[in-house]
Amino acid sequence: MITLYTFGPLFGLPDASPFVMKAEMLLKLAGLQYETSTKGFLRAPKGKLPYIDDNGTIIADSTLIRMHLEQKHGIDFDRELAAREKGVAWAAEKMLEDHLYWVLVYWRWMKDENFAKGPANFFKRAPALIRPLVIWKVRGNVRRNLHAHGIGRHNEAEMTAMSDRAFEALSLLLGDNHYLMGSRACGADATAFAFIAGSLCPLFDSPAHAKARTLPNLTAYRDRMMSEFYPGFERGHS
């Protein structure tokens, strides 16, 4: 049995983290049996979620999880794609994970109103007396990570110009397709779904979230994927 370590459903999403949603989607696309546990964060080998325990083999990082599923379980997520499409799908996935992600982190963590509605919930279990200190420290770490990545060196207008372009690229790539690359799901659908669902989360407000809401094919895709892969999941619509 595979155990996927998660944060758990939050913000009206299957998980607070897009990378956890991606990993869960990969497991669903692979058709493998799995269970989830929210008890793994303190033992996360790389200090982040997701990771999986596949019968004693621990794999941390959603991309390494994908590679593990491909190698150990013989899953070819991109079997329906032509060679060029495989390249495009991989590049689109990494645009979301290594570029857009950081803009979304900025709006979720650095804007007080979004932080209060969202990430502040992670600290509820910290003792009330030291909670402000813990929050101050963790938000400071996030700010440093944004700076180290580079996105945190830009002003909000510059960041927004970049996230707008990423959403437009994603919307153009999706077009009228049912799935990201056509009529059959591929590996990048796991990432596309995770990031589109996270971006459309009605809880958060920012120019990036507002941009995502202007692209109807992204909303329709999120709705289709939710119905197909998370039937019955309760969430707030944007």
Closest CB to ligand GSH among residues 47, 56: 47
What does the per-residue mask of binding to ligand GSH show for 46-75, with x meaning CB under 6 A?
A: -xxxx----------xxx------------
Of 135-174, binders to ligand GSH (CB under 6 A) are none
Closest CB to ligand GSH among residues 46, 175: 46
19 forms part of the interface with ligand GSH (CB under 6 A) = yes
Distance CA 125, CA 119 (A): 13
How near is the Cβ of 91 to ligand GSH at its closest, in Å? 16
Closest CB to ligand GSH among residues 144, 237: 144
How near is the Cβ of 176 to ligand GSH at its closest, in Å? 29
Using CA atoms in the order 101, 152, 134, 16, what is the torsion angle rounded to 10 degrees? -10
Closest CB to ligand GSH among residues 10, 178: 10
15 forms part of the interface with ligand GSH (CB under 6 A) = no
Of 208-227, binders to ligand GSH (CB under 6 A) are none
Distance CA 14, CA 12 (A): 7
Please answer whether residues 33 and 66 qualify as being in contact, where contact means their C-beta atoms are separated by less than 8 angstroms: no
Give the binding range for ligand GSH (CB under 6 A) out of 27-35, 45-53, 81-89, 166-174: 45-53
Closest CB to ligand GSH among residues 67, 116: 67
How near is the Cβ of 18 to ligand GSH at its closest, in Å? 6
Distance CA 43, CA 221 (A): 34
Closest CB to ligand GSH among residues 63, 172: 63
What does the per-residue mask of binding to ligand GSH show for 80-119, with x meaning CB under 6 A?
A: ----------------------------------------
How near is the Cβ of 47 to ligand GSH at its closest, in Å? 6
Interface with ligand GSH by CB under 6 A: which residues? 17, 19, 47-50, 61-63
